[in-house]
Amino acid sequence: MMPLSEHEKDILRQMEQSLHEDDPQFAARMEGQAWSLMRRIVLGALCVVCGFLAVIAGAALQLMYLGVAGFAVMVAGGYYASFGISPSRLPFGRPSLGLPGQSQHI
């Protein structure tokens, strides 16, 4: 991926400033969604790690209920972290650019 040139960065800053001036409520809502998404991903990942540790502890201590509970926490954490993430919000989920060899049919 190529870094942005100074001209492109300046244009993006101007667009952001224009958005804040034209519709400050929308701009604030978009910034809030980014923090909400990041918080959800971090909390979900933390649950996955804690669940994994519980599975390992359950196996080491031979406590089946601890392993099952840890697995449930892992699955719930993964689901929570991924809930609300659509492919269009991910950098690799952008629509195809129509590169050679790719079908343009739906």
Beta carbons of 75 and 44 less than 8 angstroms apart: no
Per domain, the residue ranges of the chain are 39-84
Integer CA distances (angstroms), 3 to 6, 18, 89, in order = 9, 23, 20
Q: What is the rounded CA–CA span in Å between residue 34 and residue 84?
A: 12
Helix ranges (H only) for 1-106 are 6-22, 24-61, 64-82
Integer Cα distance of 19 and 30 in angstroms: 11
pTM, two decimal places: 0.55
Give pLDDT tens digits for 42-89.
999 999 999 999 999 999 999 999 999 999 999 999 999 888 666 655
